[in-house]
A and B are shown apart, each in its own frame.
Chain A
Amino acid sequence: MSIRDYVTLRVGGQLFGVDAARVHDVFHPRGLTPVPLSRSEIAGVLNLRGRIVTAVCARRRLGLPPRPEGSPEPLAIGLEVHGDSYGLVIDSVDEVLKLDDEKFHSPPGNLPPRWAEIIVGVYQLEKELLIVLDPHTLLDAAHLKAA
C-alpha cells in the first residue's frame, strides 16, 4: 500500500489531480505575450522570475468551453516537460490530497480520445471523481498535434 500526493485543481467544474512531485509552483499567469500562428491551446509565453514559461490553456486542451465572463482570475501550475517550463492555465487550485494507490483505477474505456490519452486514471473520492492527468502527454507537442 502506498500513498501519493496529488495537487487537485478544477477546470470547467471538473476535479483533476496532478502528481504533486511534478508541480513546481502555482502562479497567476500575468503579462502573457501571445505567440502568433501557434496552436489554439497556447495561451502565450510569460516571464516567471526570469524564466520563460509557455502557458497552455487547460480548457482549450480539454476541449472545454472558454471561461465565462466575470470568473475569478485564473491560476497556472508550473510543470516541466522535456526540460521546458510550462504553465497549465486552470480555473482554481484545491488542496493537496494524499491518496491510496488501492483506490486508483484505470480510466474508463468510453472517454473521448482527446481525454483518454492525457488521463492516467481515476480516484473515486467520496463526493466525486478525481481525474489524474499526465502532464507529459498533456504538454507534449506530438500528442498535441494528434489532438
Chain B
Amino acid sequence: MDDLIAEFLTETAESLEVVDSELVRFEANPNDRKTLDNIFRLVHTIKGTCGFLGLQRLEAVAHAGETLLGRFRDGKLEVTPIAVTLVLHSIDRIKVILAGLEQTGNEPDGDDHDLISQLEAMAEGHEVDLTAVQAVEVPDRPIGGEIEPAEINAPALGVGDIDPSTGRALRPGEVSEADLQAAFDAADGPGMGLQPGDVDPATGRTLRPGEVSEADLEAAFAAAESPDWMNEPVTEVVDTKPEPVAEVAPAPVAAKAAAAAPAPAADALQGLGGEDGQGINTIQSIRVSVDVLEGLMTLVSEMVLTRNQLLQISRNREDSAFATPLQRLSTLTGELQDSVMKTRMQPIGAAWKKLPRLVRDLSYELGKKIDLVMEGEGTELDRQVLELIRDPLTHMVRNSADHGLEGTQERIDIGKPANGTIKLSAFHEGGYIVIRIADNGRGLNTGRIREKIIEKGLASRVEVEGMNDQQIHRFIFAPGFSTAAKVTNLSGRGVGMDVVRTNIEQIGGQIDLTSLPGQGTTFTIKIPLTLAIVSALIVGAGGQKFAVPQTSVMELVRTGQNAEHKIEKINDALVLRLREKLLPLVQLGPTLQLEAAKEEDPTFVMVIQVGERRYGLVVNDVLDTEEIVVKPLATILRDVNLFSGATILGDGSVVLILDPNAMSERAGNMLEEKQDEDAEVVTDSSESERVAMLLFKAGSGAPKAVELEHITRLEHVESSQIEIMDGRAALQYRGKLMPILTVNGDYSSLLHGDSTHIQPLLVLTGEGYAIGLAVDEIVDVVEDRLQIELSPDRAGVRGTAVVAGKACEILDVSHYHLRGLAEHQRRPQSSNEERAVA
C-alpha cells in the first residue's frame, strides 16, 4: 500500500474516534464552541487529506458533513439529535470506506448519494429522512496493530492540503472551499501571519498556495486549546519528516501533552538519564514504532533471563569477585526492565474511547437517557492487557445500559433522576489496575437469578436457600447463564458474563460484583498491569519443574507425615483441613499423568484462588521464586491448555507455566463429580449463615441434628398408638395413616412394654404426604453455623458437624423423604386419600 495512504489511514482512524466522542459531547452541550471548533477542524483535516490523496468518495462525504457542521458553527442551524445522528452516519460511512481502502488500497465502489443528499438537505434547513440513509455496519478496527492511539500529527497534514476543486457551482446552503478555509483558520486562532508571496524564514522560500508558515502553525497550536485526546500520554510522538509542515507542527503539541499529563515516554527518558530540570517546554519526544518497543521488550526479557542465569551461577560459587558487580548488574537490569515497561504503558482511556458513542447510540435505541461518566482515564496499563480488556469492557457497558438501567419513565415514576448514569473508573492498586463499571439502575433481580440457578441445575434449591445475595449474584458469571427476559438487539445474544469472566481470568484478572436492589450494580475488575514478566513459584512434581504465577497463590502449606496439616481422603477425593475449612485438593503430578509422581510423597499444598474457586494444588516440592518471562507455547501445544506458556529458568532449562485457571477448571470437573457423591462435603461453607437446628438423640452413637426448617411439627404420642406390622410402622395422624421411620431402620425400639410410654416424633412433610421420625429424646433447639466437616458413613446422614459445641450427625432429610415416599407407595389405598397434612 502507498505509504501516504497507510499514514493517512492511521491518522484518520484516530481522528474519527475523537470526532465520535466529541460529537456526543457536542450534542449534550451545543453551545460549546470549542468542541464544535475541534470537530470542525478534525473533519476538515480528513476532507483536506482526502482531496490531497485523490480519494473522491471520502472527500465528498467529508465535505457534505463539514458543510453541515459549518452551518452549526455559523449558528444558522439548530443542533438537533437528528442532525447529530446524520453527522455520525457520515462518520460511519467514512469508516466503512476507510476499511475498504485499508483492505484493497483503493476506495471501494459505492454510492453515497443517499447520505450526501440528506446532509445537504439538513444544511439547507429542510426536513430530512433518516431512514433514507442506509445504515452501515462499521467494521471494528482494532486499534493496536498499525494504528496507534496517541497519534498527534493528524492535524498537521490537513493544514498543508491542496484545496480540491469541486468543479461545479455551489448549491444553496453550501459553503465554498475558500470560506471553509477561512473559517478553519479563524477557528484555530491566529490569522495568516504571512501572506502568499512572503518568504517564510523557516523554509527559506515563498509559501506555496495553501501552505502555511511554521510560525503560523506554532502560533495556531499554541493558541488552540489542545483537545482531550491530545492530553493522553504519548508513547510515540514526533515524526521528523523532511516536509516542513509535518516536521514542525507536532512538537509543541507533544510538549503540551507532556506537560498536561506526564508522558510515560518522557518519564522513561528522564529516568534513563534524559536532561531534566530544564523546564517543561524542553521535554523532547521522539516517535518510535511499536515494533521497536516490542523488540526492546524482548531484549530486556532476554537480559532478565541472562541475569537470572548469572545469579544462579554465582550462588553456587564461593569466589565473590563477581558478586558485587553482578549485584549492580542485577539492579540495573531491574531498572531497565521497569523503564522499558513504562514505554509500553498506555492510558486506559484508549480502551474507553469508543464508549461515549456506544452509549449515545444505545441511549437512542433503548429510549433511555444515559450519562456516561469516566474517571481515571489516565490510569496506565500495558498495551497488551489494554487490547485484551477492550471487548469485555464494551460488553459490560452495553449490559449496564441495556439491562442495568431502567427506562426513563420508570425512573421518573420511582423518583430517581431521569438520566441513568454509567460510571467507569480506574485506579492502580498494588501491581493491579482496578476498573469499576457502576450503574445506578435497578440492580440485579435476585429472585429471578435464584430461580434460574435452580432451573439450570447450577445448584440445588437447598444450596440456593443457604446463599446470601452476593453469592447468588455471582452466578451470572456461570457459563450459559443469561437472565435477559427478551433478547434485544444489544445484548442477550448468548454471549454473557461468563465470556467476560473467562476473558478477564485468562489474563490473570478477577471480576466481582455488588448489587443493591433499586440502587444499581457495580462490577469490579482487577487485572495485572503487565503480562510479559511475572513472578512465579517454581515447583516440582513427577520429577519435573513447573512455574506457577504467584498472583494466584494465596499461601503455601507444608504437609506430610510430621506436618501439622495432613491430607485426608473422602472416598477418592483428597482434602486438607485448613483453619476449620475443608480445602479440595488437586494433585499436580497425577493430574498431568506423570509416571514418577506415583512414587512421590506430597509435601506442599499451594492454596490457589481463581475467581470464586479456591483449591489446593499438591506438589512434591517448592524450589524457588523467580521473575519469569512468559513466552507463548507453539500452536501445536495449545490443545493441552493446562499451560499458559513456557519460560527459560536461570539454569537454562525450559519450564512450563501452569495456568491456575485451567487447572481449576480441570479440578473443578473432578470436584463437581465428587460433589455428586459426597453432596455437601466439599462445599465451602465458610460463609454459611446461622441456621436453627434441632438437636435430638436417636439410636446409638453421636447426637443427631437436623435443620429446623425441615420439621413441620414435633409430636409426642403414646407408644401404643403406633401400629407395627410386617416390619413397618404407622400412626393414625390427623385422619391419615402416617408412616413412622426410625434412624436405624429398626422398629423394635418402638415396641415398649409400657403402654404409657411417650414416643417423641419429628413430623416431616413432603408433597402430599407426611412422615414421622421416631427419636429417643429431643434435646434442644439451637442456632449455629452449619459446617459439615466429616463425611457421612452411612445413608441418611449428611455428615458430621459441630453444633453447639458438640459433634453431631446431620440428618439427610431427603433420604427420609424417599423412604417415606416408598412407604406410601406400598400403601396405594391410603396414599389416594393423602393430603398435605400440615
List chain A positions with a Cβ less than 8 A from chain B.
31, 33-39, 42, 45-47, 50, 52, 54, 56, 81-82, 84-86, 139-141, 144-145
Contacts and interface: CB of A to CB of B under 8 A. Distances in A.
A46 B654 contact: yes
Nearest to A38: B640
Contacts of A54: 633-634, 636-637
A36 B639 contact: no
Interface in B594-633: 594, 631, 633
Interface in B625-666: 631, 633-640, 642-643, 646-648, 652-656
B734 to A, nearest CB: 62
A46 B655 CA distance: 9
A86 B545 CA distance: 22
B648 A141 contact: no
A35 B545 CA distance: 11
A147 to B, nearest CB: 12
Given A47-B648, A54-B637, 15 more contacts: A31-B653, A31-B654, A33-B545, A33-B653, A34-B544, A35-B637, A36-B640, A36-B656, A37-B593, A47-B652, A52-B633, A52-B647, A84-B634, A141-B635, A141-B636
Contacts of A45: 633, 637, 646, 654, 656
A141 B639 contact: yes
Contacts of A139: 636
Contacts of A84: 634-636
Given A33-B653, A34-B544, A36-B592, A52 B636 contact: no
B626 to A, nearest CB: 15
A140 B647 CA distance: 22
Nearest to A44: B654
Given A52-B631, A141-B636, A47 B594 contact: no
Contacts of B635: 81-82, 84, 140-141
Interface of B: 302, 305, 542, 544-545, 592-594, 631, 633-640, 642-643, 646-648, 652-656
A85 B636 CA distance: 11
B652 A31 contact: yes
B633 A141 contact: no
Given A45-B654, A50-B305, A35 B639 contact: no
Q: Which 8 residue pairs are nearest across A and B when measured between Cβ atoms?
A: A36-B592, A84-B634, A54-B634, A33-B654, A141-B636, A45-B654, A141-B635, A47-B648
B627 to A, nearest CB: 16
Nearest to B542: A36
B640 A37 contact: yes
Contact of A38 (B594, B631, B637): B637
Contacts of A141: 635-636, 638-639
A50 B302 contact: yes
Contact of A42 (B544, B637, B655): B637
A45 B657 CA distance: 12
Contacts, number: 75
Nearest to B632: A84
21 contacts: A33-B544, A33-B655, A36-B542, A36-B592, A36-B593, A36-B594, A37-B592, A37-B593, A38-B637, A38-B639, A39-B636, A45-B633, A50-B302, A50-B305, A52-B631, A54-B634, A54-B636, A54-B637, A140-B635, A141-B636, A141-B639
Contacts of A52: 631, 633, 646-648, 654
A37 B648 CA distance: 20
A35 B640 contact: yes
Nearest to B643: A35
Contacts of A39: 636, 639
Contacts of A37: 592-593, 640, 642
A96 B545 CA distance: 39
B653 A47 contact: yes
A55 to B, nearest CB: 10
B634 A85 contact: yes
A24 B592 CA distance: 32
A145 B640 CA distance: 12
A40 to B, nearest CB: 12
B587 to A, nearest CB: 13
B653 A42 contact: no
Contact of A47 (B545, B639, B654): B654
A102 B656 CA distance: 46
A139 B305 CA distance: 28
Nearest to B589: A36
Nearest to A36: B592
A38 to B, nearest CB: 5
Contacts of B636: 39, 42, 54, 56, 84, 86, 139-141, 144
Nearest to B546: A36
B299 to A, nearest CB: 10
Nearest to A139: B636
B89 to A, nearest CB: 40
Contacts of A144: 636
B546 to A, nearest CB: 9
Of A36, A85, A86, most B-chain CB atoms within 10 Å: A36
B663 to A, nearest CB: 12
Contacts of A82: 635
A35 B653 contact: no
Nearest to A144: B636
Most buried by A among B636, B643, B647, B654: B636
Contacts of B633: 45, 52, 54
A35 B593 contact: no
Nearest to B592: A36
A145 B638 CA distance: 12
Contacts of B592: 36-37
A138 B637 CA distance: 14
Contacts of B637: 35, 38, 42, 45, 54
Contacts of A35: 637, 640, 643, 656
A85 B638 CA distance: 14
A84 B638 CA distance: 12
B561 to A, nearest CB: 27
B45 to A, nearest CB: 37
B648 A50 contact: yes
B334 to A, nearest CB: 19
Contacts of A145: 639
Contacts of B634: 54, 84-86
Nearest to B641: A37
A5 to B, nearest CB: 26
Nearest to A85: B634
A53 B557 CA distance: 35
B790 to A, nearest CB: 34
Contacts of B593: 36-37
Contacts of A33: 544-545, 646, 653-656
Contacts of B302: 50
B594 to A, nearest CB: 6
Contacts of A38: 637, 639-640
Among B542, B635, B648, B652, residue most surrounded by chain A Cβ atoms (within 10 Å):
B635
Nearest to B541: A36
A81 B635 CA distance: 9
A31 to B, nearest CB: 6
A112 B643 CA distance: 33
Contacts of B646: 33, 45, 52
Contacts of A140: 635-636
Nearest to B306: A50
Contacts of A31: 652-654
A139 to B, nearest CB: 6
A47 B635 CA distance: 17
A86 B636 CA distance: 9
A31 B592 CA distance: 20
A37 B597 CA distance: 14
Contacts of B656: 33, 35-36, 45
Contacts of A85: 634
A106 B421 CA distance: 67
Contacts of B654: 31, 33, 45-47, 52
Contacts of A34: 544
A84 to B, nearest CB: 4
